Amino acid sequence: MAPVLAALAVVAAAVVVGLVLRRRQAVQAPTQPTYAVPAQLDRGDFPAEAPWLVAVFSSGSCTTCADVVRKAEVLRSKDVAVVDVEFGAARALHAKYDIQAVPIVAIADAEGVVRAGFAGPVTATDLWAAVAEARQPGSSPEPELGR
């Protein structure tokens, strides 16, 4: 009987050691980029005189980014500045605002407060409505767009 108990104790110890070693060797999932729209922009970082700013954080190798920039450009007016913050040309701004994935659109007022924003692709209608709502609250039938 004693040899059987000893054998069971050895097997139980081996199982426990195996589980501990397996847990230590588990590979964690790689860190994923976050699609976070900045809450505040320093308007001095963007060469724009207009009271409203649409900043599109993009990358030259991103076809979705090019589409979002094209949609944003239509909004350019005396009251709305549109700035393409392309990664290759503005790495420091991407780092400053912790842009980890593109495209990111930030719609900011004259003080740099981001009133609306989008992470990832956006339709022209949603983008235009979000800018209109930010500039004049109550003007959009979907005021929650970009928030």
| pLDDT tens column, 51-84 | 999 999 999 999 999 999 999 999 999 999 999 9
In a domain, 4, yes or no: no
CA separation for the pair 91, 16 (Å, rounded): 49
Pair of tokens at residue 78:
């005396």
Three-state DSSP at 107 gives: strand
In a domain, 118, yes or no: yes
In a domain, 56, yes or no: yes
Determine the average pLDDT of the residues in 23-44: 78
In a domain, 70, yes or no: yes
pTM of the model: 0.75
Helices (H), ranges, 57-140:
63-73, 91-96, 124-135
Domain of 66, CATH number, reads 3.40.30.10
CA distances in angstroms from 118 to 62, 73, 101, listed in the order given: 16, 15, 12
Determine the structural domain holding residue 100 and report its residue range: 43-135
Identify the residue with better confidence: 131 or 34: 131
At 12, the pLDDT band (50, 70, 90 cuts) reads confident
Pair of tokens at residue 17:
């050691």
pLDDT higher than threshold 90 for residue 140? no
In a domain, 10, yes or no: no
In a domain, 31, yes or no: no
Residue 138 pLDDT: 79
In a domain, 72, yes or no: yes
In a domain, 23, yes or no: no
Residue 5 pLDDT: 65
- When divided into structural domains, the chain yields a total of 1
| Strands (E) located in the chain | 52-58, 80-86, 104-108, 114-119
